[in-house]
């Protein structure tokens, strides 16, 4: 990716209308809504509808799922104007592709992960999201991984989304190291799980804009 390209930002795991407004005002390109019951950041359709309604134009809405039933995804798409689907579990590509909606596919990275095989398997994904490996959690762990593991997976940058333990203190270094198309942050801009801090969101995005 050219060094002058602007790195896009997704703020994930929003649960409050005010947090969505703060993310948009700080310059976020996308917000993520979690539809995965075990997550402390899960939202129901009613809450998600209020959050989406508060967004200004040109802020994308991403719906995050982990190993969902088909009916769950279809019901969400029927109820909400979701721009992108994000699959964070073990969903096969055929499932991800079947909703007539662009999708992101996440992978939890550890040294044994075959990233080239992952990218080839999910070649139809609009983006590949690289997150930290955790034995139990599907994202939102607050843990980072060794960014050099992505060296073998470089794909011109346009599909690379970096996640995992990012915050205002390390995101600039992460962006210089990986040169992703976008970064995805959740716990790194929170005051408590699911509760975003407008100040931390603003600081996070300012750091990226300095890269």
pLDDT in tens, 68-95: 999 999 999 999 999 999 999 999 999 9
Tokens of 59: 């802020």
Q: What is the pLDDT of residue 135?
A: 57
pLDDT in tens, 118-135: 999 999 999 999 998 665
Q: Is the pLDDT of residue 136 over 70?
A: no
Q: What is the pLDDT of residue 1?
A: 41
Q: What mean pLDDT comes out for the span 39-60? A: 97
| Span between the terminal Cα atoms of the chain, in Å | 13
CA pair distance 106, 58, nearest whole angstrom: 23
CA pair distance 175, 116, nearest whole angstrom: 21
Structural domains in the chain?
8-209 (3.20.20.70)
Which residues are known catalytic residues? Answer: 12, 131
DSSP element (H, E) containing 128: strand 127-132
Grouping H, G, I as helix, E, B as strand and the rest as coil, residue 186 is: coil
């Amino acid at each position: 990716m050219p060094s002058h390209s602007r790195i896009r930002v997704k703020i994930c795991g929003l649960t409050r209308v005010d947090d969505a407004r703060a993310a948009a005002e700080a310059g976020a390109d996308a917000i993520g809504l979690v539809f995965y019951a075990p997550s402390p950041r899960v939202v129901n359709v009613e809450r998600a509808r209020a959050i989406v309604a508060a967004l200004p134009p040109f802020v994308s809405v991403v719906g995050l799922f982990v190993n969902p039933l088909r009916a769950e995804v279809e019901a969400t798409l029927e109820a909400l104007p979701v721009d992108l689907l994000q699959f964070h579990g073990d969903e096969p590509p055929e499932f991800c592709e079947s909703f007539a909606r662009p999708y992101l596919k996440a992978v939890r990275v550890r040294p044994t992960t075959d990233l080239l095989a992952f990218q080839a398997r999910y070649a139809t994904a609009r983006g590949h999201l690289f997150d930290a490996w955790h034995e139990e959690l599907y994202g939102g762990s607050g843990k980072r991984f060794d960014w050099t593991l992505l060296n073998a997976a470089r794909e011109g940058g346009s599909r690379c989304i970096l996640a995992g333990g990012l915050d205002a203190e390390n995101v600039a270094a992460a962006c210089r190291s990986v040169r992703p198309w976008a970064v995805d942050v959740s716990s790194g801009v929170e005051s408590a799980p699911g509760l975003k801090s407008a100040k931390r969101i603003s600081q996070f995005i300012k750091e990226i804009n300095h890269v």
